[in-house]
Amino acid sequence: MNPSATDWIPKFLSGLERVDLTTKFKNRTNFYTYLKETGFIYGVSVKAILDETVSNLDLTKEEYTKINLFHALLYFYFQSNPKGSFDDAIGSINEFYNKIDKGKTGFLRKLTLSQSNSQHLESVLSSRLQETNTALKKNNTSILTYALLFVDVLAYIKWLSKPRAIKSYAKQLENSVITCCFFALKAKQNKNKYDRLLIDLFESSTEYLIADTSAQDITSLQQLKRISNRSDLEKKYILDICIIAVWDDHEMDASEFNFLQNLTTKLKLPEKELTTSLQDLTSFSDKYTETIQLFEYSNPVKLFYKQSAATVKLLILRNKKRLIRELEESGELLVLLSQSTLRDLNPEEKHKVKEQLLDVCKTIPSLTIFLLPGGTVLLPLLVKFIPKLLPSAFNENRIQDKKN
């Protein structure tokens, strides 16, 4: 079975029964623990959840990630529909992704009417991993994108029981996760250059992430609404992601640990949950430190920031002509981006920039990375680099303004 080839889903499922994907796990929490042991929650899958060998090939991190995402979606489908079939599950997952991606025509444009249901889902999962984006190098998709894929799973769980307003739910959950990561970074006692750069990026992203909210309005965990009302799986996931955010030197200073204790309290999780989560990451790191990219670097925050900045620059340059044309046609967006180099935009202007930039991204396949999990947090980099890397478009705009 080759997860990078067409019809990998039927081959993966051949020889498997529904019970093979579900009965190994005592409950949802137990499944989450197994999923975390694969590295999926940390954004670096190093194996599949199944005990059986899923392929005779030497699979990549991306391929294991795809298999684990599919398995997780199947598991929770059968939890809600114990008598359902594989075909039913695939149809349900396709319907879910259609709901959360409604309006993102560029994101799923490559899907054709001639595809079978399983081929359609294969294309969707590939899009979620952005593996078909030829403008990106093999290892250039950010760790954040893979780590946030579990938001898809949590949103699917919610959709299975309460399908209404699922897009809003998924967005709010992702925003809560990213905002908690921001506070985790701010809690670090000894911040290095890249910690500060990433904090600045998160702060500048706040108004893009949360409508009608400024960075100054959210200064502590206490101001995050309804975070304590989330499900147990959502709470565990938020805690695990925040632990990753401060995991750079494999040590925990007092301020970092104090933040994680406060977060655990805010989430209304038992204190032992924090101890378990720390032990899980330590164990995973010790076991796979020589084989996975995240821990080959002394500072994963540095890796994420440099990786993200390089990716955004590459995408802008690779799509230079198309971007200039789209910006010139947009009018208002070009003016606002030009103004952003001279002054801070107000919240209303930032909201306009976000919506119009995302519309542009939908029309350019290589830029659909900004529609992926965590993509919105990179928008400030796009706003920052477009005027610098495409100066001709803005110079011409200023000339026209003077003439008018």
List, for residues 46-62, the tens digit of each pLDDT value. 999 987 788 888 888 88
> 156-174 pLDDT, tens per residue?
999 999 988 898 888 888 8
Domain that holds residue 314: 300-403
Q: Which of 169, 38, 167 is nearest to 100 (CA)?
A: 167
Read off the pLDDT band of 200 (50, 70, 90).
low
Question: For 211-215, 337-341, 365-369, which range has the lowest pLDDT when averaged over its residues?
Answer: 211-215
Residues 106 and 171 grouped into a single domain: no
Residue 327 lies in a domain: yes
pLDDT at residue 103, rounded to an integer: 33
Residue 201 lies in a domain: yes
Residues 281 and 195 grouped into a single domain: yes
Residues 148 and 35 grouped into a single domain: yes
Residue 2 lies in a domain: no
Of 239, 270, 295, which closes a domain? 295
Residues 153 and 191 grouped into a single domain: no
DSSP string covering 230-292: S-HHHHHHHHHHHHHHT-SSS---HHHHHHHHHHHHHTT--HHHHHHHHHHHHHHHHHHTTT-
Range 120-137 average pLDDT: 73
Residue 3 lies in a domain: no
Mean pLDDT, all residues of the chain: 79
Please answer whether residues 89 and 353 qualify as being in contact, where contact means their C-beta atoms are separated by less than 8 angstroms: no
Instruction: Assess whether pLDDT exceeds 80 at residue 401.
Output: no
Tell me how far apart the alpha carbons of residues 305 and 292 are, in angstroms, rounded to a whole number.
18
Write the CA distances from 95 to 145, 165, 373, 376, 378, integer angstroms.
22, 14, 18, 24, 28
CATH of residue 270: 1.10.3680
Q: Quick one: tokens of 329?
A: 């046609």
Residues 280 and 382 grouped into a single domain: no
Read off the pLDDT band of 255 (50, 70, 90).
confident
What is the pTM for the complete model shown? Answer: 0.72
Residue 37 lies in a domain: yes
Residues 29 and 111 grouped into a single domain: yes
Residue 113 lies in a domain: yes
pLDDT at residue 87, rounded to an integer: 95
Of 161, 181, 206, which closes a domain? 161
Question: For 73-87, 227-241, 301-315, 339-353, which range has the lowest pLDDT when averaged over its residues?
Answer: 301-315
Residues 14 and 143 grouped into a single domain: yes
pLDDT at residue 398, rounded to an integer: 47
Please answer whether residues 122 and 6 qualify as being in contact, where contact means their C-beta atoms are separated by less than 8 angstroms: yes
Instruction: Assess whether pLDDT exceeds 50 at residue 403.
Output: no
Residue 206 lies in a domain: yes
Residues 329 and 283 grouped into a single domain: no
Please answer whether residues 308 and 194 qualify as being in contact, where contact means their C-beta atoms are separated by less than 8 angstroms: no
Question: For 130-139, 258-267, 277-286, 312-321, which range has the lowest pLDDT when averaged over its residues?
Answer: 130-139
Residues 334 and 365 grouped into a single domain: yes
Residues 99 and 43 grouped into a single domain: yes
Residues 136 and 12 grouped into a single domain: yes
Q: Quick one: tokens of 20?
A: 């093979």
Read off the pLDDT band of 280 (50, 70, 90).
very high
Of 161, 196, 220, which closes a domain? 161
pLDDT at residue 145, rounded to an integer: 66
Instruction: Assess whether pLDDT exceeds 80 at residue 235.
Output: yes
Residues 314 and 290 grouped into a single domain: no
Instruction: Assess whether pLDDT exceeds 60 at residue 93.
Output: yes
Instruction: Assess whether pLDDT exceeds 80 at residue 217.
Output: no
Residue 30 lies in a domain: yes
Domain count, the chain: 3
Range 383-397 average pLDDT: 73
Read off the pLDDT band of 138 (50, 70, 90).
very low
> 301-320 pLDDT, tens per residue?
555 666 677 778 888 888 88
Q: Which of 306, 309, 193, 198 is nearest to 245 (CA)?
A: 198
pLDDT at residue 66, rounded to an integer: 94
CA 63 distance to own-chain centroid:
17
Range 221-242 average pLDDT: 84
